[in-house]
Amino acid sequence: MTFRPLHDRVVIRRAEGDTKSKGGIIIPDTAKEKPQQGEVIAVGPGSRDESGKLIPLDVKAGDTILFGKWSGTEVKIAGEDLLIMKEADIMGIVEKTMATAANVA
């Protein structure tokens, strides 16, 4: 099944949460806090202004974003837990710098 969001809605795959605390204690699923970061999977075409002109979204598929704790609606699409939210609920895009990319490699 393919899902295409409408208007200014965005489909997000939530980032994985930590399974251990900094002290090494394993955190059970019931006590884990859901991360407020995720990857954009799909975006709608954008919203329209009063004159009917299409305003494209600032985010695109593949972007890593931050969003509010209570933002979005949790849905299951093709067996995967995803979030659907409006672009206005997204706080910002996490941009990878060259220093961060060098540390990962």
Task: Spell out the residues 6+ positions from residue 76 whose beta carbon is closer than 8 angstroms to its own.
Answer: 82
Q: What is the pLDDT of residue 15?
A: 82
Measured CA to CA, the distance from residue 2 to residue 6 in angstroms comes to 13
pTM of the model: 0.71
Distance linking the first and last C-alpha atoms of the chain: 35
Report d(CA 104, CA 9) in Å as an integer: 31
Cα separation, 72 vs 35, whole angstroms = 13
- Each residue's pLDDT tens digit, 10-36: 999 888 765 555 666 666 656 556 668
Q: Which CATH architecture has domain 9-93?
A: Roll (2.30)
**What pLDDT digit, counting tens, does each position of 45-98 carry?**
988 888 989 988 888 888 899 988 888 889 898 888 899 999 888 888 888 776
**Confidence at residue 19, expressed as pLDDT on a 0 to 100 scale:** 58
Residue-range domain boundaries for the chain = 9-93
